[in-house]
């Protein structure tokens, strides 16, 4: 080995292979690292006397809180006592002092050096915010991949991964490192946070409990008994669809309970009558949210009234939230038209778009119902078989289902009861009931009712000796297992929604549309479109309402008065805007593949999820377009709903007549 080479010189000086470094080298390195740390700390803390805590995820052009933490309590007290200004990039900012800290809100530009000066102290911190427009990429990727690949797990995974990668890339990591860290954050942050949300866990437990109950009442013959009973009246595809629609209207108090109960109950009937799983899922989905959103006594009413109350409190309107809600129903065109459109399709026996192909195959008997045997996208579960040699009794299914319905209503009344509301003589009975339901804990009510129904189903099965104890418990557990794929999809969908929240997707869409100059008469239409876009991107109608109500209501009210509108006319616009947020949220929810109610509708109907979205979207967009053009916009100019609603129905009939094709009924197999 030549000593002239680098290796030779190192070898000559003691850096030999398989030899450890001299202890003095370790000591030198340790001292060097400590010095660097001290220098860094001195630059950040000692000189300034304070440190900054920036948001973990910084997005441009969105107001986010920055926390100033004072290292020295005496310095903090001096700043407060002397009213020392906090300068941000040379300009004073409004701050709030709390627990030795100061908090101010800042709208980060695209990129800059953030300079904060307090007295003689100063900090210069480079920041690299995520461009706000990139906030639409995660939901957009998830939605496009779902529609292209027709595989929901991979699509949602890619949507979340794109969001986490963007976050870490703009935190200063190289792309490969950002991709790796983003994949880890997908599971240890977003999936876990989605699962630890109490509301989400309530939905999971409720859904799995319902799954266990449905599996059991199918095994003990209760579901077959219901099918036999309904079959006496639902003898054709038309009457079967009408029965499904009627059940969807009857279970009006909660959309989750609606989809799971109606879908699971009517699925065997739909199969026998050769109604496609896509049409069943559409009827289930398009009755659940619309009826729950406009009914007076539902689990939605509390959230709706809360959001409306926040909006009118900001504006200062002398009206109750419930009164505003009642007036807004006169402008809720989409929910009402969605319910009516189902009837138009049923009575006309016409379909169009992808639904026509699905229904034609189902009626002709050429469609293999593979959902009964195997899973295509993870949502379907193997259907349990009824035990042999036992009589199918409908009450074994009807009683547990009634327990869910009655139990949920009872739980809502119990958790929302306020004696002062019922002692108040200024409110009518409907108002008192709505206030009670609105203040209720809907998740607790659903959990109690589903568990009670499961216990009743188990007790009835054992009491009649339809199954042994071991078989009964195994049936329930198998029902739990069948819900696992749906739980995974829901969890991934909630993770996408959490990504959109962190990246402020709704703010981007809102800012984009609100920058346009609109007439006050077009504000309801703008609100409807905005609500649909946000709900489509986030998959949450409730989240959309929570975002848009406090944003849109004050803006709409201020715009109408800036344009010199009279108070009464401004109120009509305001009511229209209130309904447009709700209606747009439901429309976007119906079109979104990542919506939890859309997923639950696919689950309950055991329909391929992407096929459900693909067949439902043209119908939802058709109703939405008519609701917007023939309802929301003309109503803003003062036309009455009693004129616009019949005209809108006429347009929908015309659309079905022109574009729809007749479905051949085919022969219906005899009831076994």
Rounded to whole angstroms, the Cα distance separating 269 from 246 reads 14
Calpha distance 76→66 (Å, rounded)? 16
Say if CB 505 and CB 538 are below 8 A apart: yes
Query: In 10 A of CB 1, how many CB atoms?
Result: 9
Locate 135 and state its tokens.
């906030």
The pair phi, psi for residue 551, each rounded to 5°, is -85, -45
CATH number (3.40.630, 1.10.287, 2.60.40, 3.30.70) of 50-129 reads 2.60.40
Residues of the chain with CATH 2.60.40: 50-129
Q: What is the mean pLDDT of residues 304-324?
A: 70
Residue with tokens 């899973």: 375
Contacts of 201 (CB under 8 A, 6+ apart): 195
Q: What is the mean pLDDT of residues 411-440?
A: 79
Position 670 pLDDT exceeds 50? no
385 or 634, which is more confident? 634
Pairwise pLDDT comparison (37 vs 142), residue with the higher score: 142
pTM above 0.85, yes or no: no
Cα atoms in the Cβ-side hemisphere of radius 13 Å centred on 633? 14
Q: Give counts: helices (H), strands (E), the chain.
A: 30, 10
Q: Would you say the C-alpha torsion 390, 393, 399, 405 has a positive or negative sign? A: positive
Least confident of 7-16, 93-102, 153-162: 7-16
Helix (H), strand (E), coil (C) string for 205-239:
HHHHHHHHHHHHHHHCCHHHHHHHHHHCCCCCHHH
Confidence of residue 666 (pLDDT cuts 50, 70, 90): low
Maximum pairwise Cα distance, the chain? 103
In whole angstroms, give the CA distance from residue 604 to residue 92: 57
Query: Looking up tokens 């490192």, which residue turns up?
Result: 177
Pairing state between β 350-351 and 96-98? unpaired
Task: Write the pLDDT tens digit of every residue in 65-81.
Answer: 888 878 777 777 777 77
Condensed to tens digits (0 to 9), the pLDDT of residues 446-462 reads 889 889 999 999 999 99
**352 pLDDT tier (thresholds 50, 70, 90):** very high
Q: Is 233 exposed, middle or buried (0-12, 13-18, 19+ CB in 10 A)?
A: exposed
Give the residue with greater pLDDT, 568 vs 184: 184
- For residue 275, the Cα-to-chain-centroid distance in whole angstroms is 28
Could you give the CA distance from residue 454 to residue 451 in angstroms, rounded to a whole number?
5
Structure tokens at 127: 């920041």
DSSP sequence for 420-473? HHHH-TTS-HHHHHHHHHHTS-HHHHHHHHHHHHHHHHHHHHHHTTSS-HHHHH
Dihedral sign (CA 249, 254, 256, 257): negative
Rounded CA gap, 92 and 79, in Å?
14
The predicted structure's pLDDT at residue 624: 96
DSSP 386: P
Q: Measure the CA–CA gap between 525 and 520, rounded to whole angstroms.
A: 10
Residues 646, 526, 130: CA angle, nearest 5 degrees? 145
CA end-to-end span of the chain, whole Å?
91
Instruction: Give the mean pLDDT of 347-369.
Output: 85
- Contact in structure between 252 and 423 (CB atoms under 8 Å): no
Minimal CA–CA distance to 576: which of 324, 379, 362? Answer: 324
Q: Average pLDDT in the 437-451 region?
A: 82
Q: DSSP of 124-172, one letter per residue? A: EEEE-PBPGGGGGHHHHHHHHHHHHH--HHHHHHHHHHHHHHHHHHTTT
Q: Which residue has the tokens 């266990």?
A: 212
Cα 159 from Cα 136, distance rounded (Å) = 10
Q: How confident is the model at residue 643 (pLDDT cuts 50, 70, 90)?
A: very high
Residue 560: name the closest of 354, 568, 549 by CA. 568
Radius of gyration over alpha carbons of the chain, in Å?
A: 30
**Cα separation, 281 vs 54, whole angstroms:** 46
Portion of the chain with pLDDT greater than 70, in percent:
81
**Spatial distance between the Cα atoms of 590 and 539, rounded to a whole number of angstroms:** 9
* Sequence-ordered list of residues with C-beta below 8 angstroms from that of 440, at least 6 positions apart, any chain: 299, 302, 411, 412, 413, 414, 415, 416
Residue where the block lists tokens 């447009």: 580
Model confidence band, residue 30 (pLDDT cutoffs 50, 70, 90)? low
Asked whether the predicted pLDDT for residue 379 surpasses 70, the reply is no
- Phi and psi torsions of 87, nearest 5°: -100, 125
Of 319, 327, 324, 251, give the one whose Cα is nearest residue 283.
251
Q: Please choose, from the candidates 288, 295, 296, the residue with its C-alpha nearest in 3D space to the C-alpha of residue 342.
A: 288
pLDDT band at 220 (very low <50, low <70, confident <90, very high): confident
Whether residue 381 contacts residue 606, with contact meaning beta carbons closer than 8 Å, is answered with: yes
> Which among 207, 218, 266, 200 is positioned nearest to 451, based on CA atoms?
207
Helix (H) or strand (E) holding 38: helix 23-41
Comparison of pLDDT for 622 and 385, the residue scoring more: 622
pLDDT over 80 at 475, yes or no: yes
pLDDT tens-digit series, residues 483-528: 787 688 778 878 887 888 888 877 776 677 566 666 788 889 988 9
What residue has token string 């900090």? 123
CA distance 540 to 525: 20
CA separation for the pair 316, 267 (Å, rounded): 49
Q: What is the pLDDT of residue 483?
A: 74
């Amino acid at each position: 080995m030549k000593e002239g080479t680098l290796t030779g010189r190192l070898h000559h000086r003691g850096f030999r292979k398989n030899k450890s470094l001299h202890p003095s080298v370790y000591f030198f390195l340790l001292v060097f690292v400590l010095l660097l740390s001290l220098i860094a700390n001195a630059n950040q803390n000692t000189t300034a006397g304070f440190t900054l805590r920036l948001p973990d995820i910084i997005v441009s052009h969105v107001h986010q809180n920055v926390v100033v933490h004072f290292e020295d309590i005496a310095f903090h007290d001096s700043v407060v006592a002397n009213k020392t200004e906090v300068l941000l990039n040379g300009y004073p900012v409004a701050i709030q002092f709390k627990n030795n800290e100061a908090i101010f809100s800042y709208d980060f530009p695209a990129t800059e050096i953030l300079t904060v000066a307090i007295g003689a102290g100063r900090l210069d911190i480079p920041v690299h915010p995520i461009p706000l427009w990139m906030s639409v990429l995660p939901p957009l990727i998830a939605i496009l991949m779902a529609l292209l690949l027709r595989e929901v797990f991979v699509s949602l995974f890619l949507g979340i991964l794109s969001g986490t990668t963007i976050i870490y890339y703009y935190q200063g990591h190289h792309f490969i490192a950002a991709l790796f860290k983003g994949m880890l954050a997908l599971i240890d942050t977003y999936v876990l946070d989605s699962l630890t949300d109490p509301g989400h866990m309530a939905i999971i437990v409720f859904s799995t409990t319902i799954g266990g109950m449905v599996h059991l009442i199918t095994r003990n013959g209760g579901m077959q008994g219901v099918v036999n009973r309904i079959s006496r009246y639902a003898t054709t595809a038309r009457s079967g669809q009408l029965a499904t629609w009627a059940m969807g209207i009857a279970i009006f108090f909660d959309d989750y309970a609606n989809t799971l109960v109606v879908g699971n109950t009517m699925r065997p009937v739909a199969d026998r009558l050769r109604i496609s799983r896509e049409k069943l899922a559409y009827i289930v989905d398009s009755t659940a949210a619309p009826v729950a959103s406009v009914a007076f006594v539902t689990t939605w009413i509390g959230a709706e009234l809360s959001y409306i109350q926040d909006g009118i409190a900001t504006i200062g309107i002398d009206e109750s939230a419930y009164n505003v809600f009642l007036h807004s129903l006169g402008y809720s065109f989409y929910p009402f038209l969605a319910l009516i459109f189902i009837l138009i399709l049923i009575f006309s026996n016409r379909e169009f778009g992808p639904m026509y192909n699905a229904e034609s195959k189902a009626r002709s008997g050429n469609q293999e119902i593979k959902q009964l045997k195997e899973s295509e996208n993870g949502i379907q579960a193997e259907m349990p078989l009824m035990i042999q040699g036992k009589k199918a009794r409908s009450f074994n299914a009807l009683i547990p289902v009634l327990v869910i319905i009655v139990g949920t209503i009872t739980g809502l009344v119990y958790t929302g009861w306020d004696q002062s509301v019922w002692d108040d003589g200024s409110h009518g009975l409907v108002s008192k009931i709505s206030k009670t339901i609105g203040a209720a804990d809907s998740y607790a009510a659903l959990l109690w009712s589903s568990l009670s129904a499961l216990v009743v189903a188990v007790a009835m099965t054992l009491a009649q000796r339809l199954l042994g104890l071991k078989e009964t418990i195994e049936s329930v557990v198998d029902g739990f297992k069948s819900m696992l794929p749906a739980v995974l999809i829901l969890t991934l969908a909630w993770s996408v929604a959490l990504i959109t929240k962190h990246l402020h997707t709704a703010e981007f869409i809102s800012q984009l549309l609100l920058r346009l100059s609109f007439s006050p008469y077009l504000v309801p239409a703008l609100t409807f479109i905005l609500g649909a876009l946000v709900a489509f991107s986030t998959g949450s109608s409730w989240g959309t309402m929570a975002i848009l109500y406090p944003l849109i209501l004050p803006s709409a009210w201020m715009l109408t008065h800036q344009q010199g509108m009279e108070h009464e006319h401004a109120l009509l616009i305001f009511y229209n805007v209130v309904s447009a947020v709700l209606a747009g949220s439901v429309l976007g929810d119906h079109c979104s593949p990542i919506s939890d109610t859309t997923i639950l509708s696919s689950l309950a109907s055991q329909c391929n999820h992407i096929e459900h979205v693909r067949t439902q979207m043209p119908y939802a967009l058709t109703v939405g377009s008519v609701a917007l053009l023939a309802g929301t916009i003309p109503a803003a100019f003062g036309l009455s709903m009693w004129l616009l609603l019949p005209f809108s129905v006429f347009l929908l009939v015309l659309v079905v007549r022109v574009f729809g094709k007749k479905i051949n009924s085919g022969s219906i197999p005899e009831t076994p």
